[in-house]
Chain A
């Protein structure tokens, strides 16, 4: 009797082990098989990924995922979203819970090298800043010696904050919360004098305050925060697909192609770059996706300028200027390799 129990347990264990070993390199195949992209996004950050009252996800990170779905399936709606906090985002990607992490995540060497993930590009060039209450009368980050600072846990923000204050020989007291919602609550209640995060997040969080005009974003940008999508290492095909979905949108803006004029351009344009983008002239891209991938991306989601303005720019409550995120020939650094 006891022997039977032992044998059953051991063989059950062996079966479980065999069944659960996930193979690296099979993400693209798995995505194509299941028919949708599982996208890891923020739990709720205005402008980047937030669910509205009907449960529809909107944001620039969300649009990047929709672009991937449009490229692979020709249908930008074939995406499912997994909201993730800063603490669980990497484990979710490493374990296979999500196929791509599009969650305002900063590209750093430690994350590229030691987490087993790779960043495919930069959705948004950002930098870290400070948000303070106007009534403190502080106009510069250099006057923050001794302040209490609210910060999100497990982010590059925490590390940059420490580095900045140490290098300027200032002291501070940190108050570390799990989600950005809690940091805002703490800041509003007055638990801390300063709220620090990426500047784009600060503008988004400021809207959530009861009186947004009572808080100002200090002018200092204390770090480089290139935010972009990440995938697991080991599947080069999936890596390429995710990378080129973003590049297609940047290339489209470069060529003046928008979701509104793309059909016209397809019919009438004689510019070779445009013809290659919309798929009138075939390009042997070898990505393993349909030939009209760039056309579907731009038509269903939009070019980079459109998704920027709609989510974080002039057409959104955030009203962030293009700044660094303008195209390379318009004063910014957004630049994509050519589709040829």
Chain B
């Protein structure tokens, strides 16, 4: 016997839909009201609105630009330059912090008392000092006390360390360099196939193939051979002191170095703790069983403990990466031209369009953070152990 269908004003399904529609309409209406109120008030105060300012000429120079940029570039280009600088320092920072963090985290669990105490001291010191203070220390107390260009510390005659930056020779590719790049690509493909073959062989016969050393050899020797065969088509542009500064070569500015160092060291302290937590989370029975099988401590760590520890390590690691990316905005304190400094600082001040500039900056950081989260979640799903 089916129950009678209630009238539509009593039907819970209909009610649910109606309420949801009303609430959505309310939220959208509130949103529209806020935006219109904002635009009306900006207009009443004579503050210009809209994104047209992105086409206007910026008219100021930038210290570090990864793409060509001169005084006739637009604010839109300034935005891209700032974004690339932020990605540069965040990317390098994530790599350095991860390597350093893993090393310190594992060191803290070492059986050697000196190593573990040093690691503990490192973590406690750098975790507890404010990041801004660390950045200012590295910049003003360390990098700005390097010698001036006229008294530069030099390695040979092409590497110079001064307070204006670290000057390195930069290779300028000439004709025929394309072959070396092709050889490098071929080497990468060869290595992938080699590793796959070695794994399959090990699964079938149990014989270990020294795939790491072999891949390294292929990656280095093959392009090198092609390079020499095509007559060394690479010219080094060396930095030379002319007048006020060094010209030629490539410069690593002290602002980038200070920010990178401070961010990496600070975040590595946190990552070390996360890694240590992950390793400690793996039940001791696993280590003992691996020992009983005759695996060395290093092999146990690499093959048994760390893969299981990654499940616990990756979510907090994601947070640390996001923290590092957002902390890179402290670049304004030392004049590193990142997105916040160039766009939300100088451009905002020159154009006065606070609302548009800040929303763009926030949107960028949101997108970067979401991309990092997405990637880490995918990576987490990949390394997650399938339990019975």
Contact = CB atoms under 8 A, between A and B. Distances in A.
A173 B163 contact: no
Given A90-B352, A193-B244, A176 B63 contact: yes
B230 interface: no
Contacts of B44: 24, 234
Interface stretch (B210-218, B297-305, B329-337, B373-381): B329-337
Given A162-B60, A234-B46, A190 B350 contact: no
Contacts of A161: 60-61
A71 B187 CA distance: 80
Contact of B145 (A115, A172, A189, A232): A189
A147 B341 contact: no
B30 A10 contact: yes
Contacts of B346: 87, 153-154, 158, 176
Nearest to B144: A189
Interface stretch (B33-41, B88-96, B98-106, B318-326): B33-41
- Using C-beta atoms within 8 Å of the partner chain, give the interface range for chain B: 35 or more
B231 interface: no
A158 B45 contact: no
Nearest to A14: B30
Interface in A82-96: 86-87, 90-91, 94
Interface residues of A, number: 52
Given A13-B30, A154-B350, A189-B145, A233 B59 contact: no
A86 B341 CA distance: 13
Contact of B163 (A136, A191, A234): A191
B37 A17 contact: yes
A159 B59 contact: yes
Contact of B335 (A113, A114, A162, A178): A178
B286 interface: no
Interface of A: 3, 6, 10, 13-14, 17, 21-22, 24, 86-87, 90-91, 94, 110-111, 113-116, 136, 144-148, 153-155, 158-159, 161-163, 166, 172-178, 182, 185-186, 189-191, 193, 232-234
18 contacts: A6-B26, A87-B346, A94-B45, A94-B352, A114-B47, A116-B42, A146-B242, A155-B349, A162-B60, A173-B245, A174-B61, A175-B255, A176-B62, A178-B335, A186-B335, A191-B144, A233-B45, A234-B45
